[in-house]
Structure 1
Amino acid sequence: MDRRRFLVALGGVSALSGCLEGGPPTADGNTRGDTDDAGGSTAGGTTTPSRASAFDLPIPKDELRRGAPKDAIPAITAPVFSDDWTGFDEVNVTLEDSFEVVGVEIDGIARAYPLAILNWHEIVNDTFDGRPVVVTYCPLCGSAVTADRLVQGEPTYFGVSGFLWMSDLVMYDDRTESLWSQVLATAIRGELTGDTLSLIPSTISTWGEWKASHPETEVLVPPPVSGTIKGRQTRRYGVNPYRGYQQSGAIGIGFNEEVDERLHPKTSVIGITSGGVARAYTLSTVNDEGVVNDEVGGLPVVVASSKDGTLVAYVRRVDGEVVEFERDGGDLEAAGSKWDLVTGRALDGPHEGTTLTRANDRSPMFWFAWADFNPETEIYGR
């Protein structure tokens, strides 16, 4: 693999520190020290296969980098949802159709979490009809990961530790203060080292596309309407503090020493792992081909993208049979049915109402992040 040293100045994101004021009080109003315990006992009881097996756990303390004080990026702990952002005097931003959102649907409940909020808060502790869920987004990696927020079978709150590992968000859980890698969804230091979270599919889409595919969707309303781990907070939600970073070749905050040069580090890719094979699909390649029918480690998959750049990957099996998909305008077509691209749901024909299984367990992300966590990855079309 062609890799090189990649040295980055801090200028691309150093300005972000100005928005990270305040100390580390928790949801109950108490104050805790930084979560940097030595950790090391493996708690076991994992619920989902983990890529962490490729890494030696616990992660050494000197591999963590302090990006901000603990809870300086205040996780949302009391989310409020509505049809849109109108009617809230505290919200001075218009929710545009072009805004990107992390979309989650569980048992018929659809919710959208705008990146305009997640760029500033990174974690939303939510509940779907009694089911505790955590929705996370790392702006440095461009990665969204959604999971059940259960630790040892009990609900917990997750917060932003302020640490970064491999330029990725490191979370902590409120029960044990173990440290968790967002992309791996695995505890990497502390009492629960080696435990993993049970993942829930999520999509990065635009608000316009998400609500078109989910007419009954709710959308997260920004703080101070929604409450945070630090109580009433607000940020400049009309400003993307990472705009310069997302458009540059910079990696993290300057401590990624090696970068896979095969693609520009900020190339948007959707990754699939199966049967010991990892493969990345770039947005540009998928756009050019319209629809990609492929097989990854024995798993038949279809990868496609929407006009707004929503990348999706599904298992191309219908009623146990492997099928070939084609494009039908903005939708997919196979086995006599038309399929909504964003949801994977059959809109008509003999399979109407059937939903395809997701082939990816993490959202699309920046190439450098996918390659860091999947160093042996292939690139489709190369």
Structure 2
Amino acid sequence: MNRRRFLAGLGVTSAVAGCLGSDPPVAGDANSSGLDGTASESADESETTGGGAFDLPIPEEELRRGAPKDAIPAITAPVFSDDWSGFDEVNVELDDSFEVVGVELDGIARAYPLAILNWHEIVNDTFDGRPVVVTYCPLCGSAVVADRLVRGEPTYFGVSGLLWMSDLVMYDDRTNSLWSQVLATAIRGELTGDTLSLLPATISTWGEWKASHPDTEALVPPPVSGTIRGRQTRQYAVNPYTSYQQSRSIGIGFNDEVDERMHPKTSVIGITADGVARAYPYDTVSNAGVVNDDVGTLPVVVAATTDGTLVAYERRVDGSVVEFERGDGVLVAAGSRWDIVTGRALDGPHEGTVLIRANDRSPMFWFAWADFNPETEIYGE
């Protein structure tokens, strides 16, 4: 089932393999139980730093232990290829139907399959010398990509094993501060309040991403790619979250309130501007073909592909606001056809022009968007 095409199901597995960890605590790991003491002690509890709608540092009691630290081993030495068949240690084929987090940066296009991210959640990468971190939280369905810099210095991020608001909590290897994945902000520790610079990313299928980026490569699963714990391997042909994605269950049971305006696992793309937050559900956008809208004073166009890719762009071309229509697998405006996945003009007077992203985070499950944007509107309601 395509994760973004929500299908209500029954029940949920008793353990979510990735965020509960597939390995026992590491021998000698001081953080194999309880909260991360180093980060907790580093936070000055007498100071409160604004974190959008949240006061920082986050109280320790709001964190939940889902797995031992590094039991979900972040990837630190990624290897890329357009074909996995040449690697004897990889026992799964790279299929066009695989969902991927696609990143295009500095002329380089890479895809990070969810089949890998479901098990590792963080990839520490470098684009032509530029440190980048690619993250994915299977519980929230959220991908966040950012510059891998902490106060100007490259750092590695790992999986703390903690959850906050059912979302991945990362740690940095310089200060051991704890970071919210969705907020891209340090929520406890020495760096509390610091934020990462976000980079655009797309959740698509390998087939669609490859068609829009012919020179792209995909992350190769460990043990070919190295992890923070050395050689590791998982059952990459298995999605441990299938039942979770189809159920009404949230996280591992620690969400007190749920916005019930939509099923919690509905896939939405969210846009914020001028104090307005609005969520665009996949089915609503898909049925409309294309959505021309304004979020505050920001003119946006939202569209979806038949494979489930959901995108949002500013609908300005050469400084002018335009109305988009839906063509045969493309968007049409201002005399040009535009690729949905990339936002790039394929022909006409604007050929080669790329639309600016209107969203700074990937599509995610409705409950996660609503948790982090409690005043959000829903397009069409």
Verify same fold: TM over 0.5.
yes
Give the aligned residue type for 1:274. Answer: A
Residue of structure 1 equivalent to 2:15: 13
Instruction: Using the TM superposition, give the Cα deviation of residue 24 of structure 1 relative to its aligned residue in structure 2, in angstroms.
Output: 7.6
Give the aligned residue type for 2:53. Answer: A
Local SS of the residue matching 2:207:
helix
Local SS of the residue matching 2:203:
strand
Contact 1:41–1:192, Cα closer than 8 Å, also in 2: no
TM-score by length of 2: 0.92
Q: Percent identity?
A: 78
Residue of structure 1 equivalent to 2:176: 177
Q: Distance in 1 between matches of 2:274 and 2:330?
A: 29
Residue of structure 1 equivalent to 2:166: 167
Local SS of the residue matching 1:204:
strand
Residue of structure 2 equivalent to 1:109: 108
After alignment, is 79-88 or 370-379 more displaced?
79-88
Q: Distance in 2 between matches of 1:244 and 1:375?
A: 26
TM-score by length of 1: 0.92
Q: Distance in 2 between matches of 1:40 and 1:66?
A: 18
Residue of structure 2 equivalent to 1:128: 127
Give the aligned residue type for 2:209. Answer: W
Contact 2:264–2:367, Cα closer than 8 Å, also in 1: yes
Instruction: Using the TM superposition, give the Cα deviation of residue 328 of structure 1 relative to its aligned residue in structure 2, in angstroms.
Output: 0.9
Contact 1:85–1:91, Cα closer than 8 Å, also in 2: yes
Contact 2:21–2:68, Cα closer than 8 Å, also in 1: no
Instruction: Using the TM superposition, give the Cα deviation of residue 39 of structure 1 relative to its aligned residue in structure 2, in angstroms.
Output: 3.5
Q: Distance in 1 between matches of 2:42 and 2:232?
A: 32
Q: Distance in 1 between matches of 2:27 and 2:379?
A: 44
Q: Distance in 1 between matches of 2:195 and 2:44?
A: 14
Contact 1:35–1:172, Cα closer than 8 Å, also in 2: no
1:38 is aligned to 2:37: no
Matches for 1:145-164 after TM superposition, within 5 Å: 145-164=144-163
Structure 1 stretches of at least 4 aligned residues deviating more than 2 Å after TM superposition:
9-18, 31-36, 38-42
Instruction: Using the TM superposition, give the Cα deviation of residue 158 of structure 1 relative to its aligned residue in structure 2, in angstroms.
Output: 0.1
Local SS of the residue matching 2:258:
strand
Q: Distance in 1 between matches of 2:14 and 2:373?
A: 25
Instruction: Using the TM superposition, give the Cα deviation of residue 13 of structure 1 relative to its aligned residue in structure 2, in angstroms.
Output: 3.0
Instruction: Using the TM superposition, give the Cα deviation of residue 21 of structure 1 relative to its aligned residue in structure 2, in angstroms.
Output: 3.0
Q: Distance in 1 between matches of 2:116 and 2:152?
A: 29
Stretches of structure 2 lacking an aligned partner (at least 5 in a row): 1-10
- CA deviations on 1:182-207 (whole Å, 9 max, x unpaired) are 00000000000000000000000000
Q: Distance in 1 between matches of 2:99 and 2:221?
A: 14
Alpha-carbon spacing, 1:141–1:120, altered in 2? closer, same or farther (3 Å): same
Residue of structure 1 equivalent to 2:3: none
Matches for 1:300-315 after TM superposition, within 5 Å: 300-315=299-314
Alpha-carbon spacing, 1:371–1:51, altered in 2? closer, same or farther (3 Å): farther
Instruction: Using the TM superposition, give the Cα deviation of residue 238 of structure 1 relative to its aligned residue in structure 2, in angstroms.
Output: 0.2
Q: Distance in 1 between matches of 2:332 and 2:345?
A: 9
Instruction: Using the TM superposition, give the Cα deviation of residue 41 of structure 1 relative to its aligned residue in structure 2, in angstroms.
Output: 4.7
Residue of structure 1 equivalent to 2:234: 235
Instruction: Using the TM superposition, give the Cα deviation of residue 357 of structure 1 relative to its aligned residue in structure 2, in angstroms.
Output: 0.2
Contact 2:12–2:243, Cα closer than 8 Å, also in 1: no
Residue of structure 1 equivalent to 2:6: none
Residue of structure 1 equivalent to 2:246: 247
Contact 1:167–1:252, Cα closer than 8 Å, also in 2: yes
Matches for 1:1-382 after TM superposition, within 5 Å: 11-14=13-16, 17=20, 19-23=22-26, 33=31, 35-36=36-37, 37-41=40-44, 52-382=51-381
After alignment, is 10-19 or 278-287 more displaced?
10-19
Instruction: Using the TM superposition, give the Cα deviation of residue 108 of structure 1 relative to its aligned residue in structure 2, in angstroms.
Output: 1.1
Q: Distance in 1 between matches of 2:41 and 2:27?
A: 20
- CA deviations on 1:114-133 (whole Å, 9 max, x unpaired) are 00000000000000000000
Q: Distance in 1 between matches of 2:235 and 2:43?
A: 39
Alpha-carbon spacing, 1:105–1:203, altered in 2? closer, same or farther (3 Å): same
Q: Distance in 2 between matches of 1:62 and 1:296?
A: 35
Instruction: Using the TM superposition, give the Cα deviation of residue 38 of structure 1 relative to its aligned residue in structure 2, in angstroms.
Output: 3.4
Contact 1:146–1:201, Cα closer than 8 Å, also in 2: yes
Stretches of structure 1 lacking an aligned partner (at least 5 in a row): 1-8, 26-30, 43-49
Instruction: Using the TM superposition, give the Cα deviation of residue 141 of structure 1 relative to its aligned residue in structure 2, in angstroms.
Output: 0.1
Local SS of the residue matching 1:197:
coil
Local SS of the residue matching 1:233:
coil
Q: Distance in 2 between matches of 1:195 and 1:57?
A: 10
Local SS of the residue matching 2:101:
strand
Alpha-carbon spacing, 1:18–1:349, altered in 2? closer, same or farther (3 Å): closer
- CA deviations on 1:88-134 (whole Å, 9 max, x unpaired) are 00001011111100000002100000000000000000000000000
Instruction: Using the TM superposition, give the Cα deviation of residue 214 of structure 1 relative to its aligned residue in structure 2, in angstroms.
Output: 0.2
